[in-house]
Copies of this chain bind each other. A is one copy, B any other.
């Protein structure tokens, strides 16, 4: 059984992968450099990506990611079925604690930030919606790993605190968001700088998060 894949498709997708926060627009030559693909190949592949809106090309030849990615990306987020439930809850958490609030889901061995509301005070982690992080150290990683199995939760704390586990200057507090049937939907997290997230603030967050998670819950 040979491994089925389509090389041309993967080449096209590798063009999209070349873009990043520091590489939002690229020339043909730059793309060739980043992907290792010959320019004629990039021109052909990108013509199809452009036609489907996954890339755009400016008048001067510069390539950028296209609007179909945003449309499909938000459609992906909607597959989680959270509707409009999450953002108001995140906002209320920010209002009550003054720290940033996020909602993460697990994807394989990563976690993805689907929603984030920033603290007006700043000073938090430079993280935005769309970013993916490893399931390594951190409160929300712990939640997404530990609460994954409905039948293996005996004795688990409902709230997890991490003090500089992943990012030395930050404290994060997280709790699971569960469906009516007990399935884990995601992790609700509050985070802020250590100086602000003292033990009192941590206790406050730990008190607020479970009921906030319950407000997000849906069948």
Partner of A70, one of B7, B14, B88, B130: B130
User: Chain A: interface residue count, which band?
Assistant: 35 or more
Q: How far is the CA of A44 from the CA of B2 in the complex (A)?
A: 11
Q: Say yes or no: is A183 at the interface (Cβ < 8 Å to chain B).
A: no
Contact with B along A72-109 (1 / 0, CB 8 A): 11111111000010011001000000000000000100
Partner of A6, one of B20, B45, B76: B45
Q: Chain B: which residue is nearest A10 at the CB level?
A: B48
Q: Say yes or no: is A64 at the interface (Cβ < 8 Å to chain B).
A: yes
Instruction: Identify the stretch in A28-36, A49-57, A162-170, A204-212 within 8 Å (CB) of chain B at 4 or more residues.
Output: A49-57
Whether A74 and B130, one on each chain, are in contact in the complex, defined by CB atoms closer than 8 angstroms, is: yes
Q: Say yes or no: is A200 at the interface (Cβ < 8 Å to chain B).
A: no
Q: Chain B: which residue is nearest A55 at the CB level?
A: B76
A191 to chain B, nearest CB (A): 15
A148 proximity list for chain B (CB < 8 A): none
A199 proximity list for chain B (CB < 8 A): none
Of A9, A24, A45, A64, the most chain B CB neighbours within 10 A belong to: A9
Taking CB atoms and an 8 Å cut-off, the chain A residues in 1-54 that contact chain B are 3-10, 12-14, 16-17, 19-21, 24-25, 43-45, 47-49, 51-52, 54
Q: Say yes or no: is A143 at the interface (Cβ < 8 Å to chain B).
A: no
Q: Chain B: which residue is nearest A117 at the CB level?
A: B87
Q: Say yes or no: is A69 at the interface (Cβ < 8 Å to chain B).
A: yes
Q: Say yes or no: is A67 at the interface (Cβ < 8 Å to chain B).
A: yes
Whether B48 and A9, one on each chain, are in contact in the complex, defined by CB atoms closer than 8 angstroms, is: yes
Query: What is A's interface to B at a CB cutoff of 8 Å?
Result: 3-10, 12-14, 16-17, 19-21, 24-25, 43-45, 47-49, 51-52, 54, 56, 64-67, 69-79, 84, 87-88, 91, 107, 110, 112, 114, 117-118, 120, 128-132
List the 5 shortest-distance A-B pairs measured between CB atoms, nearest first. A73-B73, A74-B130, A9-B48, A13-B52, A65-B76
Q: Please, could you name 11 A-B residue pairs with CB atoms under 8 Å apart, sorted by A?
A: A3-B47, A4-B47, A6-B44, A8-B8, A10-B48, A20-B75, A64-B76, A66-B76, A71-B131, A73-B76, A87-B118
